[in-house]
Amino acid sequence: MVFPKPLRAVALASIFLFMFLMYQIFRNPRQIKEPRVVYPDMKTDPNLEETHEPPGNLWRSDDYAADNPNAPRINATILSLVRNEEIDGMIQSMQDLERTWNHKFNYPWTFFNDVPFTEEFKKRTSAETKAECRYELIPKEHWAVPSWINDDLFQESAKMLEEQDIQYGNMVSYHQMCRWNSGMFYHHPALKDVRYYWRVEPKVHFFCDVDYDVFRYMQDQNKTYGFTINLYDAPQSIPTLWPETLKFIEAHPEYVKDDTISARPWLEDKERRPEHNEKANGYSTCHFWSNFEIADMEFWRSKAYEDYFNHLDRAGGFFYERWGDAPVHSIALGLFEDASKIHWFRDIGYQHIPYFNCPNSPKCRGCRKGMFTDGEDFLYKEDCRPNWFKFVGMG
So which residues are the catalytic ones?
293
Provide the residue type at 149 as one letter. I
Helix H or strand E segment including 198: strand 196-199
- For residue 360, list its beta bridge partners: 50
Residue 245, H or E segment: helix 241-251
Taking CA atoms, 149 is separated from 161, 167, 168, 341, in Å, by 17, 21, 18, 35
What is the DSSP secondary-structure string of 74-100? -SEEEEEE--GGGHHHHHHHHHHHIII
3-class DSSP state for residue 286?
Answer: strand
Q: Give the residue from 356, 361, 384, 354 showing the smallest Cα distance to 372.
A: 356
Contact by Cβ (8 Å): 82, 227 = no
Contact 308, 19 (CB under 8 A): no
| Burial state string for 10-45 with b = 16 or more CB within 10 A and e = fewer than 16 | eeeeeeeeeeeeeeeeeeeeeeeeebebebeeeeeb
Q: What is the C-alpha separation between 139 and 194, in angstroms, rounded? A: 18
